[in-house]
Amino acid sequence: MSDDDSKRIQSIHHDLHSDLPAEPALRVKALESLLIEKGMLDPKTVDAWIEVYTEEIGPKRGAVVVAKAWLDPEFRKRLLADGTAAITELGFEGWATAHFKVVENTSVIHNLIVCTLCSCYPHSVLGIPPNWYKTAAYRSHAVRDPRGVLAEFGETLPDDVEVRVWDSTAELRYMVLPERPAGTEAWNEERLAGLVTRNAMIGTHRALGTESTRHG
C-alpha cells in the first residue's frame, strides 16, 4: 500500500468517526436497538413519548401556566404560594413537580434556575430539559457567575437588578414566572402563551417581546 493510499484511508476513517454522535447518544441508541431486536420495545412508542414531551407536555404547559398567571391575579397568588397545587388545578401535575415552586421576576429581581448536582427539572410543565442545562459548565458557572451566564445568552442586566439563583433538587423543582411584556393588555391567554419561551421559564431569557417565539 502506498503512502497516498494510507493517508486516504486514514482520512476516510477520520471523516466517518467525526460524524458519529456523542458517546451517551451512542449508548442510548445501542440499548434502544437491542431492546427493539428482542421485542421488548416498540420504536413507535419511543417516538410517541418524544412527541408528547416535545409538543404537548412542555414547554407549552409552562407557557399556559405563565399566561394564566398574567391574566388571573388570584391564580398568580396561588401559583406563587403553592406551585404544585396551582398546576394541579390545570391538570399539569406529574413527573418531577410534586414539590414545585414558582419564583417571580420583577423590574428589580431576576431569577435563574440551575441544578448543581445533576439536572433536576420540572418535566411535567417544561418537558425535556435542554442539553446545555445538564452540562457541568452551566451548573457550575450559573452559581459562580450568574450575570456572566446571562450575558452568554444575550441578556445584560442593569446593576440595580438583583440576580437570584435557585438550585433545584430531587425534592424541589423551580420555574420562573417572567414579567408580562408591555403592550399585551388586550391579549388573550393563547396569544400570551405564544410569547413565553422555555428559556424565560428557566431564567436565561428575560426580555420577552411581542415577536418572541415560544421555545427560545
Query: Where residue 76 sits, what CATH number does that domain have?
Result: 3.90.330.10
- Residue 142 forms part of a structural domain: yes
CA within 13 Å, CB half, 194: 8
Contact of 111 with 164, CB cutoff 8 Å: yes
pLDDT of residue 84: 95
pLDDT of residue 3: 58
pLDDT of residue 30: 77
pLDDT of residue 23: 58
DSSP state for residue 52 in the 8-state scheme: I
- Residue 34 forms part of a structural domain: yes
179 and 87 within one domain: yes
User: Strand pairing partners for 103?
Assistant: 176
115 and 182 within one domain: yes
Task: List residues with catalytic annotation.
Answer: 115, 118-120
Q: Is the whole model's pTM more than 0.85, yes or no?
A: no
Number of domains in the chain: 2
Range of the domain at 17: 3-41
pLDDT of residue 87: 95
Question: Tens of pLDDT along 72-101?
Answer: 999 999 999 999 999 999 999 887 788 999
pLDDT of residue 95: 75
Contact of 126 with 199, CB cutoff 8 Å: no
Which has the closest alpha carbon to 73: 174, 208, 180? Answer: 180
Cα 101–Cα 104–Cα 106 angle in degrees, nearest 5: 170
131 and 25 within one domain: no
pLDDT of residue 53: 60
Number of H helices, E strands in the chain: 11, 4
Question: Tens of pLDDT along 8-28?
Answer: 555 544 444 444 455 555 676
111 and 180 within one domain: yes
Q: Where are the extended beta strands (E) located within the chain?
A: 100-104, 109-114, 162-167, 173-177
Q: Tell me how far apart the alpha carbons of residues 53 and 74 are, in angstroms, rounded to a whole number.
A: 28
- Residue 49 forms part of a structural domain: no
| Rg from Cα positions in the chain | 21
88 and 136 within one domain: yes
* Intervals of the chain under pLDDT 70: 1-26, 28, 49-58, 210-216
34 and 65 within one domain: no
pLDDT of residue 146: 97
- Residue 212 forms part of a structural domain: no
- Percent of the chain as helix, strand, coil, to the nearest 5: 50, 10, 40
